[in-house]
Chains A and B, each alone.
Chain A
Amino acid sequence: MNNKEFLAELSKRLDLPPATCSEWAGGLLTEMTTQLTDDKTIAIQGFGVFEVKKRLERVVVNPVTRQNMLVPPKLVLGFKPSALLKDKLK
């Protein structure tokens, strides 16, 4: 399912015009991103947890050229599905 289909489904379910729907969705996502960049976790009941994690820097070796490379530290957004969601999938 792509973004277009997703928004169509959303507007159908809520009986809202697609334009407002996409606007609200955009608003929701910017809200989420600001919270996440503020180092906060977003926990949605029955869905899962979005969390920013820090990956430490590490040294990797290119197996072909034997080059040592230092990969910098980075922040990564992770998603952990809730137990409820996992159960439903089984």
Chain B
Amino acid sequence: MENKILLQDLAEALAAHKQIPKREAELFTRAFFEIIEEALHREKTVKVKGLGTFKLTTVSSRESINITTGERFEIEEHEKISFTPDPALRDIINKPFAEFETVVINNEESIKTMEGLNTDIEAEVKVEKENETDDIQPSGTEKNDLQVKSDNIDETNETEENQDRKETSTLGNIDMEEQESCQANNLRKEENKTSESKEEIVIEETDEITTKGAETTTIAEEVLLQEGGSHTNNQLIVVHENATQPVTQGLSWGKAIVLFAVILVLMIGSYLAGVYNLLAPKAIYTQQSPIEQLVAEIPTAPKVNIEIPNELHVDSNSNMMTTIVEEVDKMEEEDVNKKEVEIAPRIEVKEVTPKAKPKTTTYPQLPGGKYEITGTIKTHTVQPGETLSMISRGQYGSREFVDYIIFYNKISQPDLLEKGAVIKLPQLRKRN
């Protein structure tokens, strides 16, 4: 028992160290621990400098089961001694490992992958949308119609381009949306002045857009194209220099907020896309006026208030038009913006689809499930040691959604999940 030091050994060492008689040293050491013990009985806490704190804590009574007999019995309330070493002593003890520090791992990577996934989904959505529009209109695409219309109003080519871009990046790019919001705000003011001249346009919102488009040309010239390559599918990232105050102020805070907003809007975008796919087929056969309305509330970030009214209108007479307004308002912006916040505090998507056959995607539903599968949120690669319930809890916050994952991926042996397997996580919506 070399490793075990007894009280006697301590006393001896102390005697040698301080050059005192062994007997006295032993008496002293004994008294030392006795006093700690007695004080514990009396006062519940004993603090010894250089050693630490002894504390008595009360453990309340609880029920337990005798494992051999299976009987229930109660563990009575009792007291427990806890010992917390003095910080100085703790540091001395931990000296061999002192240079290690807690480090953040994989954090940025995971965020990047998340973003990547989202943009992928967004890209999918876009492709689908474009396909739809192609199918829908035998005479020409929406864009062409827009062009025709714009020609009527003597708009420039650049305007059309702007509109096209607005269309294509409907459900996605926040960077753009934010910039657009700045533009849109400025534009709205101007729009009031100019809108009278454009009375030929029936729908108010459409009117707005076209006007906006016209104004955008002037502004677009002062706009900088930035990091266009970093995003997929011609997504335009515009930095608006005319904006009254810089969007990125205080990089660390601003970045965090913007990143949050980006992720949020991407998610909403993909959600809406899924809904659009479900609604579109029904819409065909019913009417030609606005059919479906979808209203979703956007949770507000601590500082940034995001408004994205998406309005899709199709003029049923002859011109088929789809125009989309996107707005992201910042709380900090001026009063005009605040007014707008009151006016449009929600997302609104109105969709009118002309008589044609858009691509439909229906998803198999879990029999008897409380939730409806409306699409795929993202895919997930199984890490070593991960279980389906862990994945479920990570994505949905509860284990109860394991069944949906199993069903959606047609997993035959949920207990034998292989690492590296790629799982699709379904987008769920509560059934009414």
Q: Chain A interface (Cβ within 8 Å of chain B)? A: 1-3, 6, 9-10, 13-14, 16, 23-33, 35-37, 39-48, 52, 57, 59, 66-79, 81, 85-86, 88-90
Contact = CB atoms under 8 A, between A and B. Distances in A.
B79 A89 contact: yes
A40 B47 contact: no
A48 B6 CA distance: 11
A89 B105 contact: no
Nearest to A36: B93
Contact of A74 (B83, B92, B100): B100
Given A31-B10, A46-B33, A86-B81, 11 more contacts: A1-B42, A6-B47, A10-B32, A13-B35, A30-B17, A30-B50, A40-B2, A45-B6, A69-B105, A72-B97, A74-B100
Interface residues of B, number: 59
10 contacts: A6-B35, A6-B36, A10-B35, A14-B31, A40-B3, A52-B93, A71-B102, A72-B100, A73-B100, A76-B90
A27 B13 CA distance: 9
Contacts of B36: 6, 47
Interface of B: 2-7, 10, 13-14, 17-18, 20, 25, 27-29, 31-33, 35-37, 39-43, 45-52, 54, 56, 78-79, 81, 83, 85, 89-90, 92-97, 100-107, 110
Contacts, number: 156
A28 B81 contact: no
Given A28-B32, A40-B4, A44-B33, A77 B10 contact: no
Given A28-B29, A89-B56, A81 B81 contact: yes
A28 B47 CA distance: 16
A43 B10 CA distance: 10
A1 B47 contact: yes
A47 B31 CA distance: 12
Contacts of B20: 24
B390 to A, nearest CB: 11
B102 A88 contact: no
